[in-house]
Amino acid sequence: MTAASNVHGTALVGATADILDRVRAHAPRVHCITNVAAQVLTANMLLAVGAVPSLTISPDEVASFVASADALLINLGTFDANRREAVEIALDEADEDRTPWVLDPVLCDRSEARVAFARVLAAREPEVVRANQAEIAALTDRDPTPAVCDRFALDNMTVLAVTGATDLVTDGAKRLMIASGHPLMARATAVGCAGTALIAACLAVEDDPFLATAAGLLALGVAGEVAATGARGPGTLVPRLIDAVYLLDRHTLGVHAKLDGPLDVVS
């Protein structure tokens, strides 16, 4: 896999740049029910990319915030009674308004209660699910091979992104691999959560959830590579990552994109 190694890759770079332009032009509102370690970085990533974040979990007003939002993010990293109630209200409102939403089942591999709730939410057909290897293994109760991931996407009518050193994006019919990024990103809290927020911002302006997911993850991976140049550790990486998202352009995406696919799933 080399930089923008194929014709598909080149097209994806252009599509990502185009989606980011639309985010900046339209400043979509993204409502986020997210965890306590991710709230600030999520808000800052959304502001950096050109979106408008909100974070309330108050049952009195979460429906009102979702009603005026262009996309919704549900992150289970803090799994308390207040957030669970807020999630139910938010999803009912999103269903009614056909607002696209993305599920991030953070650490569902560490708690039975959490994985059970994550499965219920996944069955409500989020446009996108973003998980790491351990989380998708817990969700599917299987070794998360690409075929298992495809099946999960088909069963839940969703796009699944499994992130790691190389990200896999699948809708069950086609798969994309994204290898952009840097190991330091895993050493700062909530960087993955912030990536899911970028997917949500892309979903707010792009009807194709596969493309929105690819764009969000490519943006994060490329920004991470840019930020890691000159960062001495994870502390200085984070502010540089936010800057890199803010400054992201077509040229930079092209230089750092490491893509394979999308290729049709052979079943």
Q: How far is CA 230 from CA 75, 158, 188, 241, 257, in A?
A: 31, 37, 16, 11, 19
Residue 22 or 240 having the CB closest to a second copy = 240
Report how far apart the first and last C-alpha atoms of the chain are (Å, whole number).
23
Residue 80: CB minimum distance to a second copy, A: 5
Give whichever of 234 and 254 is closer to a second copy, judged by the CB atom: 234
> Whose structure tokens read 């140049």?
229
Say whether 22 counts as a known binding-site residue.
Answer: no
Cα separation, 189 vs 145, whole angstroms: 26
Closest CB to a second copy among 194 and 212? 194
- Does 189 count as an annotated binding residue? no
Is residue 56 a known part of a binding site?
no
Q: Are 229 and 255 in contact (CB under 8 A)?
A: no
Angle 39-49/7-26 helices, nearest 10 degrees?
Answer: 100
125, 154 contact by CB (below 8 A): no
Binding site for a second copy (CB under 8 A): 35-37, 39-41, 43-44, 47-48, 53-58, 60-61, 64-65, 68, 78-82, 107, 110-114, 186-190, 231-236, 238-247
Minimal distance, residue 57 CB to a second copy, in Å: 7
Minimum CB–partner distance for residue 150 and a second copy (Å): 29
CB of 40 to a second copy, least distance (A): 6
Choice between 43 and 259, CB closer to a second copy:
43
Cβ-proximal residues to 140 (8 Å cutoff; 6+ apart), any chain: 148, 151, 152
Which residues fall in the annotated binding site for substrate? 190
User: Which positions make up the binding site for ATP?
Assistant: 130, 163
